[in-house]
Structure 1
């Protein structure tokens, strides 16, 4: 990998694209359906399993604490909050770095490798004797898990078209909710079979505690699945062991055509065929009020991510995109990194994501303790508490799938986010307004707020993935967006033991204010995106066909002097000087091109 001006791209020479021209429409449709079916049955479930284990290893200290984890170690209850705060602090800081290495070395090498190591760390919790050791283990797991989510989501986005991706990401992200269900059930089973107060003779002899069994089981499971990942996951469609030669062709071509469609997406997106006949010219439908621009197949290759960076030869830059695998899991450039860092939308959505993610990150760890705090029963044991964790997380998984299915079907992202936050706000409002002795009603309100907690984050990631064509930039952006896990640091301070006696009422009020701010932020973001699309339409409307062609292909249309808030910020932080120092040209790439229209 070269972090200079060239992107590392995998050659597709074993896959002769010309051969796809001999397929008729019926054969292409059949092969495309088979490709998606195999991805759904073979690749997606395994990635979901990886994320399920990732979520378990992130949140299992909360389940262990309900089984007297810190009490047995002779540690103060605050030790759990300290370790969680350290975990999220390190986890958040290292997100972009983890995403960078994940894209540099590829998902197939990076994720199974780091996963094996954090599985070992999870199992090592059975050897913890002090708060320092606990914090050290949580910090190591945080560092190893940091690049998992952005790397895996970026990898997943390479296999599905834009409007297939949302529902698949819901299956993937839904594992965070299912991890709460599975973690609760697993903890219930372990704590029931190995009770804390009445240990079996075997436990007494071996001196195993219930939470030790829990850590050992989850750590071992992670190590085993990670080892399988080295052999299960393909680097690209070219090396997908579960696809036939023809299916590999179609898998590449359907993503290639979707990326070209994204680069010419003016107005509301329209349904694109699974594979476009590569012998036909491409028409750029810029808008109903604009003349259409037609590109030959060779020219359309310039619309693919990375095609703009080649040297210009005889007035036309040479594109290597047509011979590159668009599903390759590695490759990144300086341009990708700079473009990600200098994009205001990334930082705006990060702020909204942090505020909206506080409930999901808080209850992923602290839900067993919150339920214990609002249950109003001192005799409620660890097994019963962890069983009560299941319904709220299950409701969250169901609502997430319903909303993302709606989002894919309607091809919208921001409106479903707002509806999800509205459900979350309703649950929070009910939780804080109900009497503290209304235990059943507060539990129902808790279930309601959890049902809306998991919608905003995955659909934000989906919006970013849909609107960032360059895989390298996308990986870095998702890494930056991973700083949304800073919500975990906030939640570890909010849901502290000192608030348990009052049923965590103050933390719920603070969370309500944060989520309300996020709702307003997302609403404003939608208005800003609409305004940006309109601005680009006005600019390009004054260009002739050749200027539009050059902007679409090379990103070097007429220079437009913008006067807005981001221009001021750019001058304050001297981003232009940083661009010159890094040797990055001023070409617009991907979503920066004025012929690119953001989806909503």
Structure 2
């Protein structure tokens, strides 16, 4: 009886496969056509997402450039007050992330992302008119509230358009905007420094105001530039929309895409996501430390303030190249962990060079290596985590949780480099070596566990029977639908390693 059932199922599967292949041949969805389709998606989605994240990261970290243009002196900041102004952003940023991704599910992305962008741009402009420590603290808090939803929101948004093995490269293209923000930030700050005294405002104020105005101008076009979901994308034909949805369904199986709070709880109870949160925290801590303090670190190597602004550009350019290239290669090989481990070693080497010597040339080379090592970790880690979470809402929550963990690293980063430790900042560099080392150990653990779990499920699929039913490889589509609420815990789900 079991043999007959298996034979019947095999015949049905073969017939279905023949129909699908026939359909694909009629519609022309061979490898070349799929490549063209992905190119259309890339052109309409990635450039604008990258642009708004560039502006977001620029608005969040330009305070590091403003510091070199008398921010502390003009506002009367002393002691740890500058560090407090950096840190205050992150608790509000973290608190906004999960609610924001839930809103991405309830409200169309074009509406939600436009709303938060207008609000953070207004906060940025307001930051240019503050007169004291309290005013700067308040505007930074508002900046955190509204910027908090962008990074997890866009990463979740990308997973709604691309298959799991295609997300890493797109996330890297999007995240590379953070490295470009660092590069442009230095160049813009050098030019805006010439406006010191215009309108009775210091150069630091004009950095905030002009970059905030740029963000708000872009936000006015966001509603029309952001496409919500494949099913409603006007730049795709009906056949193309159907193909995008078919590919996503095939890639994710039949895991639930329904809106139900129980999938949020599934994410909150998943231990694997907490490991990724810690890896992300240990990755974001050096990134925020780097972006917030790099101009100060380079200035303390003996450069003038203006030259330090310009010398901060090359490390970011190198980081951008390696961020995009590494994720492209990782997508092709469909692996994440081994690439993360390699870049973590590079980052530790870079910070070790900063600790080991006071030679400015060696130290500067260390900043370049550190940048190359730390920036690729974030898109690689996000693609790894998101690809290993089954179900749309659980994935959105899990991504937000991961980024929450990452931004806890931002709180620590605000106090890594203290004025009393200048000019070498040996203690700060050593702390960052420790954080990257923690990420290395956790990444090695997750890589090993994913490989072991995949092997266990393969063995189960080949030799064991599902309780009360047919062998696992013989599960029908109906039975898979019944199991979809188990998300990535279903026996037929395989983890990216």
TM-score scaled by length of structure 1: 0.75
Is the alpha carbon distance of 1:149 and 1:332 closer, same or farther for their aligned partners in structure 2, counting shifts above 3 Å?
A: farther
Give the C-alpha shift of residue 256 in structure 1. 2.3
Tell me how far apart the structure 2 counterparts of residues 99 and 424 of structure 1 sit (CA, whole Å).
Answer: 31
Q: Is this contact kept in 1: 2:464–2:471, CA < 8 A? A: no
Are 1:444 and 2:365 counterparts? yes
Superimposed CA distance per residue, residues 495-536 of structure 1 (whole angstroms, 9 cap, x where no aligned partner): 1222224x1111111111221121111111211222222333
Corresponding residue number in structure 2 for 1:188 = 190
SS in structure 2 of the partner of residue 546 of structure 1: coil
Question: Quick check: 1:356–1:518 contact (8 Å CA) kept in 2?
Answer: yes
Aligned equivalents of 2:61 and 2:490: distance in 1? 41
Q: 2:422 aligns with which of 500, 505, 530?
A: 500
| Inter-CA distance 112–20: structure 2 relative to 1 (3 Å threshold) | farther
Q: CA deviation at 1:22?
A: 5.3
Contact conserved, 2:128 with 2:207, CA < 8 A, in 1? no
- What secondary structure does 2:161 align onto? coil
Compute the displacement of 1:454 (Å).
Answer: 0.9
Q: 1:147: how far off?
A: 1.6
Asked whether the 8 Å contact 1:31–1:250 carries over to 2, the reply is no
The root-mean-square deviation of aligned C-alpha atoms, in Å, is 2.3
Partner Cα separation in structure 1 for residue 44 and residue 96 of structure 2 = 30
User: After TM superposition, what 4+ stretches of structure 1 lie above 4 angstroms from structure 2?
Assistant: 18-23, 549-557
Counterpart of 1:230?
Answer: 223
Give the 3 Å change call, closer, same or farther, for CA 256–595 of structure 1 in structure 2.
closer
- In the alignment, which residue of structure 2 is the partner of 1:517? 438
What is aligned with 1:431? 354
Compare the two structures and name the one with the higher helix fraction. Answer: 2
Matches within 5 A, 1:143-222: 143-191=145-193, 193-194=194-195, 196=196, 203=198, 206-222=199-215
Paired residues, what number?
473
State the Cα deviation string for residues 182-208 of structure 1 (Å, max 9, x = none): 1111111211x32x4xx5xxx2xx213
For 2:415, what is the secondary structure of its paired residue? Answer: helix
Q: Which residue of 1 aligns with 2:113?
A: 111
- SS of the aligned residue for 2:29 comes to helix
Shift of 1:59: 0.5
CA offset digits 1:213-242 (Å, max 9, x no partner): 211111111112112111111221232122
Q: Specify the alignment match of 2:324 in structure 1.
A: 401
Q: SS in structure 2 opposite 1:128? A: coil
With 87-96 and 450-459 compared, the bigger mean Cα shift is at: 87-96
Deviation readout 1:360-391 (Å, 9 max, x if unpaired) = 11112111112122x135xx12x211111101
| Distance change >3 Å, CA 556–CA 99, structure 1 → 2 | closer
In the other structure, the counterpart of 2:76 is 74
Equivalence map 1:366-377=2 (5 Å) = 366-373=293-300, 375-377=301-303
Distance 2:215 2:471 in 1: 53
TM-superposed CA distance for 1:250, in Å, is 2.3
TM-score in terms of structure 2 length:
0.90
1:62 matched to which residue of 2? Answer: 64
Q: Deviations over 1:281-340 (max 9, x none)?
A: xxxxxxxxxxxxxxxxxxxxxx2434xxxxxxxxxxxxxxxxxxxxxxxx6312210110
Query: Residues 77-110 of structure 1, C-alpha deviation per residue, up to 9 Å, x if partnerless?
Result: 6322101111112212332222222222232221
Return 491-500 or 25-34, whichever deviates more: 25-34
Given candidates 442, 445, 449, the residue that maps to 1:528 is 449
- Please tell me whether the aligned partners of residues 551 and 593 of structure 1 are also in contact (alpha carbons under 8 angstroms): no
Consecutive unaligned residues of structure 1, counting only runs of 5 or more, are: 1-17, 261-302, 307-330, 558-585
Give the direction of change, closer, same or farther, for the CA distance of 1:419–1:220 in structure 2 (3 Å limit).
same
* Alpha-carbon distance between aligned partners in 2 of 1:123 and 1:441, rounded to the nearest angstrom: 38
Query: 1:390 aligns to what?
Result: 313
**Residue 88 of structure 2 aligns to a residue in which SS?**
helix
Determine helix, strand or coil for the equivalent of 1:129.
coil
